Amino acid sequence: MQVTETLSEGLKRGFTITVPETEITGKREKRLAELGKTMQMPGFRPGKVPMSMVRKRYGDAVAAEIIEGAVNDASDKVLADRNLRPAMQPKLEVIKPGQNSDLEFTLQLEILPEITLPSLSEITLQKPTAEVTDAAVADALERLTKQRQSFEPVDPPRAAEKGEQLIVDFLGKIDGVPFDGGLGTDVPVVVAGDGFIPGFADQLVGLAPGETRVINVTFPAEYGAKELAGKDATFDITAKSLNIAKVPEADDAFAKQLGLESLADLQKDIANRIGQEYAQFSRMKQKRALLDALAERAQFTVPESLVEAEFAEIWRQVEQEKAAGRADPEDEAKDEATLKAEYQAIADRRVRLGLMVAEIGRANEISVTDQDLQRAMFAEAMKYRDQAMQVLEFFKNNPQAMDRFRGPIFEDKVVDYLLGQVQLKEVTVTPEELAADPES
């Protein structure tokens, strides 16, 4: 095999590779001979079919198989001998086909850069923490009891007040014409509550069972049904019955309904859950600060092909959101050239961080195990509750689908490792500051 380097510029490499015709011919004839031993044809005993007939039946397929194998083997050897790590799948182009000639092809690729790992002990990050107060536990307990509230009918009937539940029939119209999806029967509505079109539930205050009322609303501009978004509508409302909420007492009996022994145990459980939530918020902020610190130190040349692929995926998502009417309001005020430049910078940052994280993981032998993937699969299935078994069955029948968990798991394991190596300075913040989006 002859290898000629044709390009060595930055991270780009190019080679012309020649495999002698004699080597290709030898492999091809050996493969045909193997097939001839098992080939069956009327009038011939097994293994006695003339080679001319074997070649006639299998010649073209074997030739293609041998060429493909030779190209792959030669390419792998070139990369291995030179210790080259491709950033993406190399591009191959056959120049001479290896039939009645040498096999000659070109190999072009971008390689991964040499990455100098940062000195982790020099990185100092804040570790925000918030105290779980008695007030926070009390608020959570109150929300929990309200979630378990039941409704009892009001007797005798009277006008509905804010917070009560009114059972209604309604018919929605636009310009006096009923629209699809605007009919409801025996629908429970919390008077002046959330969950309906803005202004709908507010206009039910004072409505008594047996009464009717026409209300006016405007669908939000971002309403899911495009044919209704931003339009004015009326609803014919018929009140049928009125219920008032009965909120259970927060006591030992309530705790036992939830599988705990006492109210004190329930309060302790709530405090633990709030603490876990605070810890998740804290980790998210630490992770973001860590990635920012790594990005500052990721000053190396990145493969153009990786950045182009990342940008193409980002831009595809941007165009999808725009087509669906969900474009970022900040983006709508910018021209396409400005947007592309901004997203190009985001793509570049993502690639740099991805390469840095991958190199840190490789250098420290961090890997994703089968057990990691199994845990992620079960966690994903539990999100669907009633369909959990179907989700597990899907992954069982499509094991390759679990590969989508691999990247996030690997990143989290590297982040966990790094947070154990950098300097963390604990700072106390309020729960609101802890939960706040750093972008806001």
Q: What is the mean pLDDT of residues 317-336?
A: 86
Predicted local distance difference test score (pLDDT) of residue 254: 95
Please tell me which residue, 99 or 220, carries the higher pLDDT value: 220
Q: At what angle do helices 388-397 and 370-382 cross, to 10 degrees?
A: 140
How many domains, the chain? 3
Q: Tell me, yes or no, whether 307 and 414 share the same domain.
A: yes
CATH number of the domain that residue 227 is part of:
3.10.50.40
Q: Specify the 3-state DSSP secondary structure of 159.
A: coil
Q: What is the mean pLDDT of residues 317-342?
A: 87
* Structural domain contains residue 145: no
* Structural domain contains residue 327: yes
Q: How many Å apart are CA 258 and CA 341, to the nearest integer?
A: 54
**Chain mean position to CA 415:** 18
How many residues would you count in the chain? 440
Helices (H), 49-183: 51-81, 134-147
DSSP-assigned letters across all residues of 377-392: HHHHHHTTGGGHHHHH
- Asked if 66 and 27 count as a contact pair (C-beta separation under 8 A), the reply is yes
**pLDDT tens string 108-120:** 999 999 999 999 9
Please tell me which residue, 438 or 388, carries the higher pLDDT value: 388
Q: Tell me, yes or no, whether 303 and 413 share the same domain.
A: yes
Mean pLDDT, rounded, of the chain? 93
The tokens of 382 are what? 């539990």
Per-residue pLDDT for 440 more than 60? no
Which of 186, 213, 246 delimits the end of a domain? 246
**pLDDT tens string 193-212:** 887 899 999 999 999 999 99
Q: What is the mean pLDDT of residues 86-104?
A: 91
Q: What is the mean pLDDT of residues 283-295?
A: 95
Q: Tell me, yes or no, whether 331 and 402 share the same domain.
A: yes
Per-residue pLDDT for 67 more than 60? yes
Predicted local distance difference test score (pLDDT) of residue 179: 94
Q: Tell me, yes or no, whether 428 and 340 share the same domain.
A: yes
Contacts for 274 with CB less than 8 Å, ≥ 6 apart: 132, 136, 137, 140
For the chain, helix (H) and strand (E) counts, in that order, are: 12, 11
Say what percent of the chain tops pLDDT 90. Answer: 79
Task: Count CB neighbours of 414 within 10 A.
Answer: 21
**pLDDT tens string 231-276:** 999 999 999 999 998 999 999 999 999 999 999 999 999 999 999 9
Beta pairing class for 232-246 and 423-428 = unpaired
Nearest to 220 by CA among 212, 208, 211, 229: 229
Domain span including residue 36: 2-110
Predicted local distance difference test score (pLDDT) of residue 47: 79
Q: Tell me, yes or no, whether 392 and 260 share the same domain.
A: yes
Long-range contacts of 173-181 (CB under 8 A, 24+ apart): 173/233, 173/234, 173/235, 173/236, 174/228, 174/231, 174/232, 174/233, 174/234, 176/234, 179/227, 179/228, 179/233, 181/225, 181/228
Q: Tell me, yes or no, whether 240 and 261 share the same domain.
A: no
| Confidence class for position 311, pLDDT limits 50, 70, 90 | very high
Q: Tell me, yes or no, whether 279 and 364 share the same domain.
A: yes
Predicted local distance difference test score (pLDDT) of residue 322: 85
Residue 149 identity (one-letter amino acid): Q
Q: How many Å apart are CA 340 and CA 334, to the nearest integer?
A: 10
Q: What are phi and psi of 429, to 5 degrees?
A: -130, 170
Beta strands in 352-439 (DSSP E): 423-428
Q: Tell me, yes or no, whether 240 and 260 share the same domain.
A: no
Which of 227, 246, 265 delimits the end of a domain? 246
* Structural domain contains residue 132: no
Q: Tell me, yes or no, whether 267 and 357 share the same domain.
A: yes
**pLDDT tens string 41-60:** 887 887 788 888 888 888 88
- Asked if 32 and 58 count as a contact pair (C-beta separation under 8 A), the reply is yes
* Structural domain contains residue 166: yes
* Structural domain contains residue 125: no
Q: Tell me, yes or no, whether 205 and 223 share the same domain.
A: yes
Q: What are phi and psi of 171, to 5 degrees?
A: -135, 120
Predicted local distance difference test score (pLDDT) of residue 438: 65
Q: Tell me, yes or no, whether 161 and 95 share the same domain.
A: no
Q: What are phi and psi of 31, to 5 degrees?
A: -70, -40
* Structural domain contains residue 119: no
Predicted local distance difference test score (pLDDT) of residue 403: 92
Q: What is the mean pLDDT of residues 166-193?
A: 94
Nearest to 325 by CA among 413, 227, 414: 227
**pLDDT tens string 346-402:** 999 999 999 999 999 999 999 999 999 999 999 999 988 888 999 999 999 999 999
* Structural domain contains residue 304: yes
Predicted local distance difference test score (pLDDT) of residue 330: 84
Q: Tell me, yes or no, whether 170 and 200 share the same domain.
A: yes
* Structural domain contains residue 25: yes
Which of 246, 273, 298 delimits the end of a domain? 246
CATH number of the domain that residue 273 is part of:
1.10.3120.10
pTM: 0.75
Q: How many Å apart are CA 398 and CA 111, to the nearest integer?
A: 32
